[in-house]
Amino acid sequence: MTTIPNINWLTDLNVFAVNRLPAHSDHLFYETLEEARSAGPMPLRHELNGNWKFTYSINPNNRPAQFHQLDFNCSSWGNITVPGHIQLQGYGKPQYVNTMYPWDGHNEIRPPEIPLDHNPVGSYVKMFTVPENMKNKSVYISFQGVESAFYVWLNGEFVGYSEDSFTPAEFELTPFLTEGENKLAVEVYQRSTGSWLEDQDFWRFSGIFREVYLYTVPEIHVYDAGILAELDSTLTKGTLQAGLKLLSSNASPSKIVAELYDSEGGLVTTQNVEPADGKWSVSISVDTPELWSAENPYLYKFYIQVYNELGQLVEVIPQKVGFRRFELIDKIMRLNGERIVFKGVNRHEFNCRTGRAITKEDMLWDIKTLKRNNINAVRTSHYPNQSYWYELCDEYGVYVIDEMNLETHGSWQKMGAVEPSWNIPGNMPEWENIVMDRAVSMFERDKNHPSILIWSCGNESFAGEVILNVSKYFKRVDSSRLVHYEGVFHARDYNETSDMESRMYAKPVDIEKYLSENPEKPYISCEYMHAMGNSLGGMYKYTDLEQKYPMYQGGFIWDYIDQSIYKKDRSGNEFLAYGGDFGDRPTDYGFCTNGIVYANRELSPKMQEVKFLYQNFKLVPDQTGVMVKNESLFSSTGDFELEYSLFLEGEELYRNTLPAAVEPQCVGHFQFNWPANIAATTGEYTVQTSLKLKKSTLWAEAGFEIAFGQFVYRVGSREIVPAKGEIRVVCGDVNIGVHGRDFTVMFSKQVGSLISLNYAGKEMIALPPAPLFWRATTDNDRGFSQNFHSGLWYAASLARKCVDIQVEEKESEVDLAFTYKFSINNEVSVKTVYTVYPDGSVRVRSEYIGADNLPQMPIFAVSFKVPADYDQLEWYAMGPEENYTDRNMGARLGIFKNQVSDNLSGYVMPQESGNRTGIRRVNLKNREGYGIRISSVSKPLECNFSPYTAFELENAQHVFELPNVHYTVVTVAGRQMGVGGDDSWGAPVHDEHLIHSDNDMEFEFVINRI
């Protein structure tokens, strides 16, 4: 009977797949051993990617309903690229929302209804001819990802229908094919019942966004292969099992041969497979197999060879397999017997030009970036990824939480309040089949990947019987993995859904409370450290728990990559856009920019901290040697080169290496072999140690640093000896000038500040120094309502009153003190004292007198402007990337160079960026080498050199809104508050990284000419 497609399927809970083939493993197959061993493109596959004819309709009523018919002429239509999103190719517009459904405020509907007025439809047409090697064979089509529902026709005949955007949908085309050209028609709807289940925190797109291909199969074909490499409890006996499902029209195999090879190509064993009860299965024993882990991702090569009744080889399946054992023992998750700690990230598939239609090159860049920065785990937030990603995780060594395509956030949480009155799927049996279909599709496709340790039942969908049944399904079909689901935190009646306690954005104190109360399950943070904008402060508070509590087993940073999209401004210049920039409403604006990697795949400064805190090897040096703590599970530090070096005031004195083999979970101590009297000179010394790759790997070249540690100490005391000589002081009616050889320093009683630093005719002061208490709010500041809580410091930074000026002439120096009062509080005052010396250097001391009942202060600093030509920087400070008091553990003390423009970090919404802590000195020069040096006096400073003031950054929502650059803005701070990062919607910066306004403070620095 011919099935007649029905548009009502879009809202029918019982119709989510029509004529779709059963889900199966994602294995490759070839017709010869040579092809299989090369593992190149499959000759039995024909890609349909590339240019398709296309037309866009705003809703179903406007679509060309008969476009699939053979006599419908589509030649005048536009074009679209597959894979790709409709909304990123000139049709419709992208929309970003987080928790709310995209139609909220437009349509008053409830599940499973969908909007009728705005349900964009993409009508695709592809003409193709069946390749010669597919003729007279069964031909199938595979859609790897289509969002969110689609109908398929071939030559005017209905083929099938499918929902679930993130797992493959396959159909047989054989009955509908013709000689010559064939017309493939695909109708894609953005909204369907499935849209209620796909309320992830991401851009709302639609279209055929993953690859499409035809394929045929040999006369006897392994349709599905369930391959499992297991270990016994001793970890010395391996069993490779494979259950095979065959597809054959009228032939049976005469034999099936299974061969297992090691990673070098050596044959381990061969087995002739015999059917039992009509089923073909393989069971191979392997003594003392090499084990798979992220540290050593050892993969065997497994070949299944199928022979027809004539004894001819007709199909070969190559499959890489890894022997590993993952289990829960004594309430702790263990891999190959060892307690695992997930040092993970959540990762959306994303590209700033193509959205979720990412390439293999994107994925290769991502996997190498994870490995190079000590990230050992990924949660596929919040849907199954492309198959190639799991192959990379198998090969490179990354642990995976594979998450099914389920999120119904807007159905139970509104503006942060838990309100599950109409939550789906909940306990509604009518939703179970459509939800279970997504679980089955993910499991069947991905089951053979050793990198997958945990199945996840989806994300942020509350809890209930339906999701509990999904968990039971995973446990029933797969005993080699655990099951994760965070939502039971909100509904404890369904606690058994998850094998682990999993929470989002719990504070460290809350995690410790859970772990200290004899819990029943191990703990992971499935999302933590909300890395929105300038963030990730206080991450160390979480990683400190790893060794303190065995049942704390790590977490997954939110998230890996910014979801921002290139757009052009009114002048035709590209910029990275966020929600709302496309006229999309409703929207959650910049909440899509949470990555430790920028959307253009450049590393954010935040990655510096991640790499350090995720180190498996902790290096703790002192003056004489280094303690090496190996926290890895299976790797010896003997695989790395331990390098140690000594610096004096940032300049390298000595560098050498030493052998330092420390076994996993052990600690070693190693002595340095310094040359005699190397540290005899007075000054500040830094011992730096690092572990570097001895050999090149898939992800980095030999010599790449994987871990570091440093120790700073001083020999002798630090004394600043003021210059001696003559200076001339001129006290005018308005100005006070201090003159020396080739310099003039001038102060204004009218302005109430230093107004001129003129060295050899070059003026350095473009805007006088003033007290600064405000920084451009970060995303986290905005989430905490910093401008509401501390806005008076914004006002105090803009206006002050100079109430007193004191001039004191001494031998070889002169002091000028300016005292300021502020309208925010009569008791608050700042006194800035300038001391000018005969060499033209100026010592600046800023003293703050606080008061009770004032809010936290964002920064206590002195800020001034110099001409923009002075833009070349050399720091002796903590670096090389920006850092803050709560995000500087990954920074190291050294000499670093950059330009002022580099300190405007690539956060999509302008905000505070570019700060450095631990400032000993900074040289600010023009390209001719002239300029000034700012040096600390007693304690290290914090400094920022930016093209913009805090207020210019504050008032811009995009980088293109910033003014033209005319100045370099110098900000010298005694202290700046941390950036925080527990979350971005209300979590304060941890108290020890705040500035309390009732405390008196002071700091000093010196300005010298260079």
Q: Report in angstroms the alpha-carbon separations of 163 from 186, 196, 461.
A: 13, 12, 19
> 């493109």: which residue's tokens?
41
3-state secondary structure (DSSP) of residue 689? strand
* Separation CA 854–CA 997 (nearest Å): 6
Give the pair of three-digit tokens for residue 415: 């503006």
DSSP 8-state assignment for residue 8: G
SS (H, E, C) 548-589: HCCCEEEEEEECCECCCEEEECCCCCEEEECCCCCCCCCCCH
Give the pair of three-digit tokens for residue 288: 């003392």
> Would you say 908 and 590 are in contact if contact means Cβ atoms under 8 Å apart?
yes
Nearest to 559 by CA among 524, 525, 596: 596
DSSP 8-state assignment for residue 965: P
Task: Identify the active-site residue in 432, 444, 460, 1004.
Answer: 460
> Would you say 119 and 191 are in contact if contact means Cβ atoms under 8 Å apart?
yes
Nearest to 711 by CA among 748, 745, 672: 672
* DSSP-assigned beta bridge partners for residue 923: 874, 933
Give the strands of the sheet with 767-772, arranged side by side.
Answer: 767-772, 859-867, 967-976, 941-946, 916-919
> 């050399």: which residue's tokens?
874
* Separation CA 104–CA 200 (nearest Å): 15
Would residue 527 show up in a list of annotated catalytic residues for this protein? yes
Q: What angle do CA 221, 224, 228 make, to 5 degrees?
A: 130
Q: Report in angstroms the alpha-carbon separations of 266 from 261, 270, 449.
A: 5, 12, 22
Indicate the pairing of strand 625-630 with strand 617-621.
antiparallel
> Would you say 497 and 468 are in contact if contact means Cβ atoms under 8 Å apart?
yes
Nearest to 972 by CA among 926, 930, 933: 933
Phi, psi of 531 (to 5 degrees): -90, 45
Would residue 460 show up in a list of annotated catalytic residues for this protein? yes
DSSP 8-state assignment for residue 701: -
Task: Give Cα 277 distance to the centre of its chain.
Answer: 49
Give the pair of three-digit tokens for residue 771: 């007290």
SS (H, E, C) 120-160: CEEEEEEEEECCHHHCCCCEEEEECCEECEEEEEECCEEEE
Indicate the pairing of strand 482-484 with strand 452-456.
parallel
Task: Identify the active-site residue in 527, 546, 609, 912.
Answer: 527
Q: Which residues are part of the catalytic machinery?
A: 460, 527
